Amino acid sequence: MNSNSKIYVAGHRGMVGSAIVRKLHQEGFNNILMRTSSELDLRNQQAVQDFMKQEKPDYVFVAAAKVGGILANNTYRAEFIYDNIMMQSNIIHNAWVNGVKKLMFLGSSCIYPKLAPQPLKEEYLLTGLLEPTNEPYAIAKIAGIKMCDAYRAQYGCNFISVMPTNLYGPNDNYSLETSHVLPALIRKFHEAKLKSEPSVIMWGTGQPRREFLHADDLADACYFLMQQYNEEGFVNIGTGEDITIKDLALMVKEVVGYEGNIEHDLLKPDGTPRKLMDVRKLHNLGWKARIDLREGIGKVYQEFSQLYAGGL
C-alpha cells in the first residue's frame, strides 16, 4: 500500500473498523473509502456491485459484521448467519470482479471447535463441533475464510484472513443485551457504583478463561499483516495470554472503583471453557501485542465514563 492507494474499510464505524481507520490515518493514508450501513447495505448484492464498480478500491479491509455476545448470538441465530454471509460474500466476490489488489477478511476466535486443545492453533479449524450458542456466526466466518482461499486458488486473488481474539476498545458496544463480556462488566460495575448497589450479578461461574486484545493493537497487527502476509489460510491475532472471567471482573471492579460484592447467576451459561490463541505464527512473522490489559481497561473506562455522562 502507498499513501495515495484507495482503501475501502467496510464497517468503519464499528470498534474494529474505526481502529483500522485511525491506524491508516496515523500512517499517512487519507484516501479511505467509508460508507455507513444506511448509505450502503452490504447485504444487498446489487448495491455492493454498483459501489465497487464505481469506486474501484485498491485495498479492502472486511471489518463489517453483525456481532454480539452469547445472548445475541443465541437469540438472533438466523440474522447472524444470513447477514454475515451476505455482507462478506458480496464484498469478497466484487473485490475479485473489480481487481482489488489485496483484501483482508476479519473473522473471530469462535470459529474454533468448542473443545479444541489449548492454545488454539490455526490448524485446529474444522476438527470438531462448534460452541452451539454461536454456531451460526462461526459458520459464517468459516465460510469467509474458505471463500478467500477459494478465490486465491481459482483466480489468484491476494485475499488473506485474520482471526482476532476477544476485543475491546473505543466504539465498543455497551448494550447489556448484545454486548460482549468486558463492556458488559464495565457498564454493570459503573451503574452499580453510581446507584450504590450492594452487589453486581455476573453470568455463570466466572471460571472460563478468555484472552483480550485492545482494538488499537488489532489494527496495528492488521496493518502489519496487510504488508507482510500473502498466503492462504489465516493468522491468529491475540496476546497469547488469558484470564478467568472472575479475575477480569475483579480487575474491572478495581478500575471502576466499585466497592460492593460480585454474585454469580449460575442459571446463565458459561460458554466455551477456554479460548486462548496460539500466536506463534504471528510472533514469527514479527508482530507482538503492546497494550497491557489493565492499562487498556483504564483507557476504555475513561472513554465509557464520558459516553455514559452524555447518555449512551
- Please state, in angstroms and rounded to a whole number, the distance separating the CA atoms of residues 126 and 129: 8
107 neighbors 162 (Cβ within 8 angstroms): yes
Which parts of 98-134 fold into alpha helices (H)?
A: none
- Please state, in angstroms and rounded to a whole number, the distance separating the CA atoms of residues 69 and 271: 10
* 13 labeled binding residue: yes
* 203 labeled binding residue: yes
* 270 labeled binding residue: yes
Catalytic residue among 8, 59, 112, 137: 137
* 264 labeled binding residue: no
155 annotated active-site = no
CB atoms within 10 A of CB 128: 12
8-state DSSP, 277: B
Q: Write down the residue that cell numbers 460458554 correspond to.
A: 271
Between strands 32-33 and 166-168, the pairing is unpaired
105 neighbors 161 (Cβ within 8 angstroms): yes
* 1 labeled binding residue: no
* 106 labeled binding residue: yes
SS3 215: helix
* 311 labeled binding residue: no
**3-state DSSP of 184-207:** HHHHHHHHHHHCCCCEEEEECCCC
* 107 labeled binding residue: yes
- Please state, in angstroms and rounded to a whole number, the distance separating the CA atoms of residues 195 and 57: 49
* 11 labeled binding residue: yes
* 165 labeled binding residue: yes
* 214 labeled binding residue: no
10 neighbors 17 (Cβ within 8 angstroms): yes
* 271 labeled binding residue: no
CB atoms within 10 A of CB 45: 14
* 108 labeled binding residue: yes
Taking alpha carbons only, the member of 55, 1, 10 closest to residue 30 is 1
* 210 labeled binding residue: yes
Binding residues for substrate, by number, are 188, 203, 210, 270
Binding residues for NADP(+), by number, are 11-17, 106-109, 141, 164-167, 180
Binding residues, by number, are 11-17, 106-109, 141, 164-167, 180, 188, 203, 210, 270
Residue positions annotated with a catalytic role: 137
